Amino acid sequence: PWQRIRKIGMKALQKQKLDPMVPYVTSTCQKAIDHHFTTSAPVEMHDVMSAITFDAFHQFAYEMDMNCVGGERQELLHACKELGEVLSRRARIPFEMLWKLPLASNRDADQYYNIMRKDIGEIYEARVSAIQKGEVGEGVLDHLLTASQEEDPKNQMTKEEIMDQIATFFFGSFDTTGNTLAMALNHLALHPEVQEELAASLSDVDLSTQTSASL
């Protein structure tokens, strides 16, 4: 089955262009600035960066604005972050029998998974309905759905397989990038001379008009 899934996934990714990601990132960053940085109140940068990357990727991949930077979908964002921690711990101790023990940590993991799975199901149904109406977008999920439909019926991905791919994107799309950005901003705060140099180099750049190639 993995050969079939990989074949369809590669076909979908070949149709995907990275250029739309740039305006999604810039608009999401501006929304975060407007929401979090208009006062002198302290801000937890890791949380903000996670919300920015989560929102930007979901617009890019699923053409849906989660608006986590605006305070919405916090339960989903928290569930995805906690599940990322769970998977990291389980990767270090890969014994499935331990994951099924009646422990509080396992019950919490199941609860977080159910929260995420519910949203994944809603995203899947929304995009399938749009495609059936002829409203095919440029998101990763739309390309994955149409690439699967182009295959012979016996080689198409099932709903569960596609939802599993969405779940993978949920984990891989934001937390590592959010952590890296938060660390980078921390280093810039500790070295104001570098911060000033970076700001000067970007002062004449209109990011809303940039493409991945020009950057």
Predicted local distance difference test score (pLDDT) of residue 63: 84
- φ and ψ at 129, to 5 degrees? -60, -40
How sure is the predictor about 210, in pLDDT bands with cuts at 50, 70 and 90? low
Q: Give me the pLDDT at residue 212, please.
A: 58
Q: What is the mean pLDDT of residues 182-206?
A: 88
- pLDDT, residue 31, reads 93
Q: Which residue has the higher pLDDT, 147 or 213?
A: 147
* Residues 6 or more apart in contact with residue 1 via CB below 8 angstroms: 161
**Side-chain half-sphere exposure of 107, counting CA atoms within 13 A:** 3
The predicted pLDDT at position 196 comes to 92
Q: Which two tokens stand for residue 203?
A: 């002062």
Residue 171 pLDDT exceeds 80: no
Q: What does the block give as tokens for 200?
A: 């000067």
Q: How many CA atoms does the CB half-sphere of 190 hold within 13 Å?
A: 6
Residue 41 CA to residue 78 CA, distance in Å, equals: 22
Rounded to an integer, what distance in angstroms lies between the CA atom of residue 165 and that of residue 139? 14
pLDDT value at residue 204: 80
Average pLDDT of the chain?
A: 86
User: At CA 143, angle to CA 19 and CA 148, rounded to 5?
Assistant: 160
pLDDT per position as a tens digit, 55-85? 998 888 888 889 999 999 999 999 988 888 8
Spatial separation of the C-alpha atoms in residues 164 and 175, rounded to whole Å: 18
Q: How confident is the model at residue 208 (pLDDT cuts 50, 70, 90)?
A: low
pLDDT in tens, 118-142: 999 999 999 999 999 999 888 888 9
Collapsing DSSP to helix, strand or coil, 36 comes out as helix
Query: What is the model's pLDDT at position 179?
Result: 82
Tokens found for residue 197: 């140099």
Q: What are phi and psi of 51, to 5 degrees?
A: -65, -40
Percent residues over pLDDT 70 in the chain: 94
- What's this model's pTM, rounded to 2 decimal places? 0.80
| Pair 18, 203: CB distance under 8 Å | no
